[in-house]
Amino acid sequence: DSPLRVHAEEQGFEIGAALAVNHLNNDSQYRAIAAREFNAATPENEMKWDTTEPSRGNFQFGPADQFMDFAQANDMTVRGHTLVWHSQLPPWVEDGNWTQSELRTVMYDHIDAVAGRYRGEIAYWDVANEIFLEDGSWRPSVFYNTLGSGFVADALRRTAQADPNAELWLNDYNIEGINAKSNAYYELAQDLLAQGVPLDGIGIQGHLINGQLPSGIQQNIQRFADLGLKVAITELDVRIQMPADQSELAQQARDYTTVMNACLAVDGCVAVTVWGVSDQYSWVPDVFQGYGAPLLYNSNYQAKPAYDAVHTALGGD
Ligand code: G3I
């Protein structure tokens, strides 16, 4: 039967993957599956601050340009990731002893250069990433600590100037269901919209644990859509305690189905992006000891039950 992207395109939907230029260059199976199965892509690391501006004013676009070349050659919609984030931030930004006006200038210069370089080529920008903690309070970061919560509105407005055609999104994890953290986004989104700040969407990352999905995913997506915002699942993976047996892989397939169906059921939920192609290169085992196998393909590039689940949810046989 047809690849995922063919079914997605039939219903005007995007099925994406996070892609790493290193693997695109060195692994032909990875590259072939990426091109065949996905009509959207997010650079896994290539557009982050530590890569794009390792020292002040020294912009490095080699990896990001290679990512864009692959995405464009394969007709993929691109999600830019990410402009303002506390992580993968080079030490010169994080440890700078900034005044407000200095840091605002640093942030604006970064946005102007990175969003400006790909102006007109990026469908969605994750303008600010992971700005809240689990209890819904603001996450401490050099941006929040120096500039206060207004850095988010400032970053959105600046990105709108740098790339007027890009949609401007906020993105975070643990906001799949209705909880303190997703409530914080719901309130912030209402505030920003009321102030006329450009905000187009909320990215729900979807780093999930097998068999432990929160309830109310569809209801949560719906409430953001009801504000007039778009929503996407931007970094989906479902990690399994290793070794993964057949029943766990079957559970994982059911979890993928749940997330796909929650998004597909809501007008305004425009895309589901998985955070990698094969289990082999997933970030999960590096960060969550004893967990792995979170994606659609195993380390030998065999499609897993989770692949079939996504395929079926998109309308394939
Ligand atoms: O490139 C260097 C390499 O030169 C070095 O030898 C090696 C040694 O550790 O590190 C390599 O860099 C790693 C980089 O990935 C590229 O593989 C970093 O250590 C590692 O920290 C980095 O991890 C990335 C992580 O973000 C960093 O926060 C993951 O690939 C990436 O999947 C992950 O993605 C994030 C999203 O951006 C935001 N949401 C959560 C998600 C998962 O953490």
Which of the four pLDDT bands, split at 50, 70 and 90, describes residue 227? Answer: very high
Q: Which of 23, 25, 7, 26 is nearest to 15 (CA)?
A: 7
Give yes or no for a cis peptide into 43 (omega within 30° of 0). Answer: no
Pocket probe for ligand 1: among 42, 45, 281, the residue whose CB has the most ligand atoms within 8 Å is 45
pLDDT at 1: 86
Q: Which residues does residue 204 pair with via DSSP β-bridges, in sequence order?
A: 172, 233
DSSP 48: S
Confirm if 173 and 139 have CB atoms less than 8 A apart. Answer: no
Question: Structurally, how many domains does the chain consist of?
Answer: 1
Say what angle helices 180-194 and 217-225 make with each other, to 10 degrees. 10
Q: Residue 50: in which H helix or E strand, if any?
A: helix 49-52
Record the pTM: 0.97
At 283 the three-state DSSP class reads coil
Q: Residue whose CA is closest, atom 27 of ligand 1?
A: 88
pLDDT in tens, 208-218: 999 999 999 99
Mean pLDDT across 88-97: 96
Separation of CA 45 and ligand 1 centre (Å): 7
**Who lines ligand 1 at CB under 6 A?**
44-45, 87-88, 173, 205, 235, 283
What is the percent of the chain where pLDDT is above 70? 100
pLDDT band (50, 70, 90) for residue 317: confident
Q: How far is the CA of 272 from the centre of ligand 1 (A)?
A: 21
Give pLDDT, residue 138.
Answer: 98
For the cut 90, the answer to whether the pLDDT of residue 127 exceeds it is yes
Residue nearest to atom 14 of ligand 1 (CA): 45
Q: How far is the CA of 194 from the centre of ligand 1 (A)?
A: 36
Predicted local confidence at residue 12, as pLDDT: 96
**pLDDT (tens digit, 9 = 90+) per residue, 137-179?**
999 999 999 999 999 999 999 999 999 999 999 999 999 999 9
CA pair distance 107, 316, nearest whole angstrom: 44
Mean pLDDT of the chain: 98
> CA-CA distance, 63 to 72, in Å (whole number)?
14
CA–CA distance, 188 with 276 (Å, rounded to integer): 29
- Segment 6-19 shows an average pLDDT of 98
Which secondary structure element, helix H or strand E, spans residue 8, and what is its range?
helix 4-10
Testing ligand 1's pocket by substitution, the residue of 283, 286, 287, 295 carrying the most ligand atoms inside 8 A of its CB is 283
ipTM: 0.94
- Quote the domain boundaries for residue 165: 4-313
Q: Model confidence at 283, in pLDDT bands (50, 70, 90)?
A: very high
Question: Average pLDDT in the 288-305 region?
Answer: 98
Instruction: Spot the catalytic one: 44, 46, 53, 235.
Output: 235
The rounded Å distance from CA 44 to ligand 1 centre is 8
Tell me the CA–centroid distance for residue 87 and ligand 1, in Å.
10
CATH of the domain at 126: 3.20.20.80
Distance, CA of 221 to CA of 216 (rounded, Å) = 9
Residue 74 has what pLDDT?
A: 98
- In the predicted model, what is the mean pLDDT of residues 90-101? 97
Active-site annotation holds for 46: no
Q: Is residue 244 exposed (0-12), middle (13-18) or buried (19+ Cβ within 10 Å)?
A: buried
Mean pLDDT of 296-311: 98
